[in-house]
Homo-oligomer: A and B are copies of this chain.
Amino acid sequence: MQSTIQIRVRYAETDQMRRAYHANYLIWFEAARINLMREYGISYASLEKEGYYLPVVQAHVNYRSPANFDDLIMIEARIEKQPKAKITINYQVKNENGQLIADGFTLHSFMNEDGKPVRPPQRFTTIVSQNLAENKNAG
């Protein structure tokens, strides 16, 4: 269960080391994560309207090679395991030559509007389990 987005590194995202500033990778991870959900029929905007939030409870990034201004980079987001109380999403960032320049993961909890932990919405877990099963069968 995966999807990839392409992003062009903005001037605003560079720092005086002349590369993309490291905190931006978390923002790119998020854009890839929201796109992944959209491609599998789950609009994160709708989830919030239904009262579900997915705050980040853990984030990790390995920076392997710099991304530079105006580079076209690919960010792949991937769900590998069925969510329980929490869900892990994995990421790979590649440059135009397909070279891995960063990877990492985010761990999310499901939360309601009052900030209380809740179970993931049924629709969400169903979609994930179906897609992980298909993938396994296909594999």
- Are A17 and B62 also in contact (CB < 8 A) when A22-B26, A23-B26, A24-B23 are? no
Residue interface mask A67-100, B partner, CB < 8 A = 1: 0011000000000000000000000000000000
B56 near A22: Cβ-Cβ < 8 Å: yes
Number of copies: 4
A70's partner among B11, B26, B34, B115 (CB-CB below 8 A) is B34
User: Which single residue of chain B is at the shortest CB-CB distance from A10?
Assistant: B31
User: Which single residue of chain B is at the shortest CB-CB distance from A61?
Assistant: B59
A69 near B27: Cβ-Cβ < 8 Å: no
A16 near B66: Cβ-Cβ < 8 Å: no
A43 near B57: Cβ-Cβ < 8 Å: no
